[in-house]
Amino acid sequence: MKNILILIALVIISCKNQPHEALEKNQKITYQIGAKYFIWSDSDRIDSYYGGNRLINVQVWYPIDSTQINEKFKPSEYYYEIDKVRKDIGGWTENDFNAVSNLKTYSLKDAPISHSKTNFPLIIFSPSLGGNISLYTYYAEELAKKGYIVAGVNHLYESEYVINEKRAVYPVNVRFHDSLKTLNIPDQISADKYREVKGLRQKVLAEDLIFCLNKLQEVNSNYFNNKIDFSNVGSFGHSIGGAAAVYASYLDDRFKAVIDLDGTPPSIALDNGIDVPFMFIEDLTDYENHEGYKKLHKRRNDFCEKIRADSFRILIGGINHNSFLDINYHMENNNHDKMRFLNTLQITEGYMANFYNHYLNGKDLNLKEMKIDSLEIIIFNNKT
């Protein structure tokens, strides 16, 4: 936790023209929220680098009816079983633990899913390297309020920690990623080869997402009253999790819409594109003058141009790579800065919901090309 907090920088949003107002359309909050936790091991898949079977921890947020709210169902934890695992994962002070333990969530653990509809679209997401799905609770809860079932996947070794059925703790282990960092580009490895090798782990995480999708199909009847709509499945991820979400759509055509929060797609997708609607949400850099940002900007544009469906880039001014974590908002004591962090979350979730509402729910898409100091929207290959 301490390492994550060090990475978080101040977010400054200066969208004075309020170009996001159109995103409020068709986003009425209808539902309360339920939550369930799962621990799943893939007996058919061995980790080629670390060895052993792949293990994931999954939290599912889903719509419930207000009539189901009662004292029987307790609020879900912000951090899953943190009281049992914090001594095994390191970096947590007593103050960190107390602060996170007191964070309020709006989902009720194990409450029954809503009876108001036949089914609900599904969204599966993946966190950043060393991160935790807990840090994206804001998006999961807001999307669940709007009628989505949202499943977050914590990955063995790449996420902050996972636990097995016996409650043994497996903390993050970035040995693979550290080994790549020791290679000098271009003397020891080319930039393209570096991304290709990194893609080996991105593929593992993508396969975790596909495994999660398969397991949700297995438990749909027992736990969700057959309410998961597997014909309308989306994904999103942050950083390496964004790459995993893209990779999953490349491997499995059940994923119908993908959002990437500031993660460079895997090389296989950069080379070949994908077949489903896609959206980048990222920080707006000085890509016209900064050589490094210019190359990154072009690489992402080239990817979007290869996509054989609608694709979008939403570049938000005044934020950075870690601005998408909701822990920024929760841990800020200064009220003015706290509202800035909240504004970032609201803007990001607004674009996410607008995208999913269109491609998974058939609602209007309220996006137009624009470029101002605090926001740029680029639309590619628009086939709507």
Per-residue DSSP letters for 165-176? TT--EEE---HH
Side chain identity, residue 192 = D
Cβ-contact 27, 59 below 8 angstroms = no
Q: What is the CATH number of the domain that holds 180?
A: 3.40.50.1820
pLDDT of residue 382: 57
Residue ranges, the chain, pLDDT below 70: 1-29, 382-384
Q: Say what the pTM is.
A: 0.92
Query: What are residue 245's phi and psi, to 5 degrees?
Result: -65, -40
For residues 353, 358, 359, 361, the Cα torsion angle rounded to the nearest 10 degrees is 90
For residues 173, 204, 58, 225, the Cα torsion angle rounded to the nearest 10 degrees is -170
Cβ-contact 332, 338 below 8 angstroms = yes
Distance CA 268, CA 246 (A): 10
- Give the residue numbers spanning the domain of 64: 2-380
For residues 75, 160, 135, 61, the Cα torsion angle rounded to the nearest 10 degrees is -50
pLDDT of residue 381: 73
Distance CA 224, CA 230 (A): 12
Angle at 309 between CA 381 and CA 302, to 5 degrees: 55
Side chain identity, residue 317 = G
Distance CA 196, CA 22 (A): 39
Number of domains, the chain: 1
pLDDT of residue 236: 98
**Of 302, 294, 317, which Cα lies nearest the Cα of 374?**
317
Residues in CB range of 254: below 8 A, 6 or more apart: 213, 230, 233
The H or E element containing residue 209 is helix 191-224
Distance CA 246, CA 267 (A): 11
Query: What are residue 104's phi and psi, to 5 degrees?
Result: -90, 135
> Exposure pattern of 322-341 as b/e (b: 16+ CB <10 Å)?
bbbbbbbbbbbeeeeeeebb
Burial bucket for residue 138 (CB in 10 Å: 0-12, 13-18, 19+): buried
